[in-house]
Amino acid sequence: MSNSISAAPNFSVERDGETVRIALRGAWTISASRALEKTAVAMSAAGKGARRVAIDFAGVIRLDTAGAWLIDKARAQMAASGAATEYQSLDADQRILLREAAYAPAERELRPKRNRLFEFLIRLGVWGAMIGGNVATGVSFLGELAAAALRVAFNPALSRPTSMVFHMENFALRAVPIIVTINFLVGCIVEQQGIFQLRRFGAATYAVDLIGVLTLRELGVLLTSIMIAGRSGSAITAELGSMKMREEIDALRVMGMAPMEVLVLPRILALVFSLPLLTFIADIAALGGGMTTAYLYDGLGFQAFLVRLQDAIGLNTILVGLIKSPFMALVVGMIACIEGFRVQGSAESLGRQVTVSVVNGIFMVIFVDGLFAIFFAGIHY
Amino acid sequence: MGSNGKEPIIRVRGLHVGFGAKTVLDGLDLDVPPGEVTGFVGGSGQGKSVLTRAILGLVPKQAGTIEVFGEDLDRMSLSEHRALERRWGVMFQGGALFSALTVKQNIQTPMREYLKLSQSVMDELAMLKIKLVGLPPDAADKVPSQLSGGMVKRAALARALALDPELLFLDEPTSGLDPIGAADFDELIATLRATLGLSVFMVTHDLDSLYSICDTIAALADGKVIAAGPLSTMLASDHPWLRAYFHGRRARAIVKQGRAAALASAQGIEGAR
């Protein structure tokens, strides 16, 4: 490394009555870091009270913009305190550098005073407006989606089955292992706790009723939807978001292709078809888990379990879960697409929208499940 | 030896770079003279960017040596390499500004990493760089997605200049700029070269840049440097690609205007001062 240029910046001062001569030495470059800053401050202090200040550059080995800026800032401070300042023995390069890096005091922008209560109220208002806006966006998106779906339905040439099947492979087929695993485990856990609690009343076999009803009506579809919101919802938001960032969506639009038909509809339809299939698989896996646990903890044979199960549930039990699943898919898919289209130019914004997509997706899945619970209770189904 | 007789600031010997079965650079030799603007031209897909990335250590090489500031990059310890990286600044083609940070924070990133400066001085220096590259002061607090293409380029240049480097790499600095913006940018680079004593290694397609600010030009074809030297060398070369490049229709128009425009702009600058 060329160490000859790393001589620390320093200066010497000669006072002659009201005239001060400051002779600079060393390398005034940014690599001196803190030393450069301190030397410059010391220099402006050295010229205090002088009528005339001459700054001599003869001993400067190297100068860069940072050095020039700090020297000129010190000079400007001396000039502000009433000294006549001048530079001496500048070479041509230093002269240009000092001109380019001439000190200009930064203008301070005035910040308005803030009132905490107002700030809070403003935030509350913005938050309320955001929720209202989200609902409005959701409704208008649903409308657009329905319009696109109708266009495609009346003109099947516009449909994109290949794209849809491709997405179904990602959303459904590749999700089967994880869906089976978590539902099997949850089935085991629920059955085990059911046996433990009901055993105290001598009704351990009713744990079969418990697992049958709970899984088929609620848990299967809930767990699957939450998993899909995390797994596929995030993927959709990230895909659409990065397409938005790179202007791919604008490119589609100017080529006369509606993003709604090309990007959104295949994904949402794929989800709507995938989720019932996955829910069915999840139901079976959870029942399998329950059956295994019932055998291990209660000695209930598989055949006995199935007979008991047949008494406990009807066709409506499984239909309740399956009817809910396409609606869950619609909710998850819509939120994922909306958030994807909201991505702005930065990577940070992409991350934020993916988070929002997953959190809102899971929240809405549980909320919609609650609405369905009220609805089905109301019609005694 | 560089054209001004000094030790080259970058010396590449026998560089081989390939990806899988495809060889991109095949025994490439290159000298970049210090204190000059070196323009690097070549057809699309010929490996201009690959060479830059190989020198910067972003792409592994199969064979050959690369010396920067007279030191072999292979024989360097990690700490020496980091010290070296402080002495060069890189401006990527797309700017590569950190999208989550404001322009000011982008410029301060290398300062914060390598130097112990107070926040107020870092703020001042960042504003100085912003002024130096010709950005308006209010660009400082904007994030890259709020900037236009030309402003992104200038902000990226400001970040490359944050540590006052001795060597500046520019990848297609004027691509995507309008001709006036591109000419401004060329002038900016020439001014910075003159004031900061920079050596500039510039990958470019812009014939105007080559004519107006490059002291030396190196041309890449078939994985090798086929010609290097001042513009006159390029114009005199018989290589078919160089002939097509420097004697094509677009080039001829610029050559014709070249002298008159250079004269006029010189007078314009003098007049403005």
Q: Evaluate if pTM is beyond 0.90.
A: no
**Optimal mutation site among A3, A5, A30, A63, interface B, most CBs of chain B within 10 A:** A30
DSSP string, B48-114: HHHHHHHHHTSS--SEEEEEETTEEGGG--HHHHHHHHTTEEEE-TT----TTS-HHHHHHHHHHHH
In a domain, A41, yes or no: yes
pLDDT reading at B113 higher than 90: no
Structural domain harbouring A243: 145-378
B269 touches chain A (CB under 8 A): no
In a domain, A126, yes or no: no
In a domain, A107, yes or no: no
**Residue A367 and residue A233 share a domain:** yes
Q: List phi, psi (to 5°) of A108.
A: -85, 130
pLDDT number for residue B247: 79
Which of these ranges, A201-215, B3-17, B74-88, B94-108, has the smallest mean pLDDT? B3-17
Nearest CB neighbour to A30, from listed B127, B143, B164: B164
**Complex-level ipTM:** 0.71
Q: CATH number of the domain that A30 lies in?
A: 3.30.750.24
Across all residues in chain B, what is the average pLDDT?
82
Nearest CB neighbour to B83, from listed A1, A65, A97: A1
Number of A/B CB contacts below 8 angstroms equals 76
Nearest partner of A235 among A243, A139, A162, judged by Cα: A243
* Environment class of A11 (CB within 10 Å of its CB; exposed 0-12, middle 13-18, buried 19+): buried
pLDDT number for residue A121: 93
**Residue A370 and residue A300 share a domain:** yes
**Residue A157 and residue A78 share a domain:** no
Q: Which residue of A has its CA nearest to B121?
A: A37
In a domain, A108, yes or no: no
Nearest CB neighbour to B143, from listed A93, A96, A346: A346
Shortest distance, CA B170 to any CA of chain A (angstroms): 20
Beta-sheet pairing, A52-63 with B37-42: unpaired
Strand partners, A21: A14, A54
**Residue A149 and residue A96 share a domain:** no
pLDDT > 90 fraction of chain B, expressed in percent and rounded: 3
For B169-211, how does the pLDDT look when each residue is reduced to its tens digit (9 = 90+)?
Answer: 998 888 878 888 888 888 888 888 887 778 999 998 888 888 8
In a domain, A122, yes or no: no
End residue of a domain, out of A35, A67, A100: A100
**Residue A208 and residue A85 share a domain:** no
Would you call B117 and A37 a contact, using CB atoms and an 8 Å cutoff? yes
Domain count, chain A: 2
Nearest CB neighbour to B127, from listed A30, A96, A106: A106
pLDDT reading at B259 higher than 80: no
Compare B198 and A184 and report the one with higher pLDDT. A184
pLDDT > 70 fraction of chain A, expressed in percent and rounded: 97
C-alpha–C-alpha distance, residues A108 and B42, integer Å: 48
pLDDT number for residue A98: 84
Compare A39 and A371 and report the one with higher pLDDT. A371
CB burial of B102-128 (b: ≥16 within 10 Å; e: otherwise) equals: bbbbbbbebbeebbebeeebbbbbbbb
End residue of a domain, out of A47, A67, A100: A100
B188 touches chain A (CB under 8 A): no
**Residue A328 and residue A243 share a domain:** yes
Nearest partner of B47 among B12, B73, B76, B71, judged by Cα: B12
B148 touches chain A (CB under 8 A): no
Confidence bin at B269 (pLDDT 50/70/90): very low
pLDDT number for residue B109: 87
| Sign of the CA dihedral running B142, B147, B151, B152 | positive
C-alpha–C-alpha distance, residues A26 and A57, integer Å: 10
pLDDT number for residue A253: 85
B113 touches chain A (CB under 8 A): no
* Type of residue numbered A31: S
B117 touches chain A (CB under 8 A): yes
Confidence bin at B242 (pLDDT 50/70/90): confident
C-alpha–C-alpha distance, residues B253 and B232, integer Å: 17
- Work out the average pLDDT over A202-228: 93
DSSP string, B107-175: HHHHHHHH----HHHHHHHHHHHHHHTT--GGGGG--GGGS-HHHHHHHHHHHHTTT--SEEEEESTTT
Alpha carbon separation from B8 to A203, B4, B38, B57, B167 (Å, rounded): 90, 9, 11, 19, 12
Would you call B164 and A70 a contact, using CB atoms and an 8 Å cutoff? no
For A54-105, how does the pLDDT look when each residue is reduced to its tens digit (9 = 90+)?
Answer: 888 888 888 888 888 888 888 888 888 888 888 888 888 888 888 888 887 7
Q: Which residue of A has its CA nearest to B69?
A: A1
pLDDT number for residue B3: 46
**Residue A369 and residue A278 share a domain:** yes
C-alpha–C-alpha distance, residues B218 and B236, integer Å: 14
- Work out the average pLDDT over A356-366: 96
End residue of a domain, out of A40, A75, A100: A100
For A131-158, how does the pLDDT look when each residue is reduced to its tens digit (9 = 90+)?
Answer: 999 999 999 999 999 999 999 999 888 8
pLDDT number for residue B267: 53
Instruction: Quote the strand ranges of chain A, DSSP E.
Output: 10-16, 19-28, 52-63, 84-88
pLDDT reading at B2 higher than 50: no
Token pair for A140: 């208008």
**Residue A165 and residue A87 share a domain:** no
Nearest partner of A359 among A134, A122, A126, judged by Cα: A134
Would you call A65 and B129 a contact, using CB atoms and an 8 Å cutoff? yes
Cβ proximity of A9 and A35 under 8 Å: yes
**Residue A161 and residue A85 share a domain:** no
- Work out the average pLDDT over A313-337: 95
For A27-57, how does the pLDDT look when each residue is reduced to its tens digit (9 = 90+)?
Answer: 888 888 788 888 888 888 887 778 888 888 8
CA angle A79, A52, A83 (to 5 degrees): 25
Alpha carbon separation from A360 to A24, A90, A230, A334, B176 (Å, rounded): 63, 65, 10, 11, 39
Class of domain B10-227: alpha beta
In a domain, A131, yes or no: no
pLDDT number for residue A294: 93
pLDDT winner (highest mean) among A98-112, A283-297, A339-353, B185-199: A283-297
pLDDT winner (highest mean) among A189-198, A250-259, B138-147: A189-198
pLDDT reading at A5 higher than 50: no
- Work out the average pLDDT over B85-113: 86
* Environment class of B238 (CB within 10 Å of its CB; exposed 0-12, middle 13-18, buried 19+): exposed
For A242-262, how does the pLDDT look when each residue is reduced to its tens digit (9 = 90+)?
Answer: 999 888 888 888 887 889 988
B69 touches chain A (CB under 8 A): yes
Across all residues in chain A, what is the average pLDDT?
89
pLDDT reading at A339 higher than 90: yes
pLDDT reading at B119 higher than 90: no
Confidence bin at A1 (pLDDT 50/70/90): very low
In a domain, A125, yes or no: no
pLDDT number for residue A310: 92
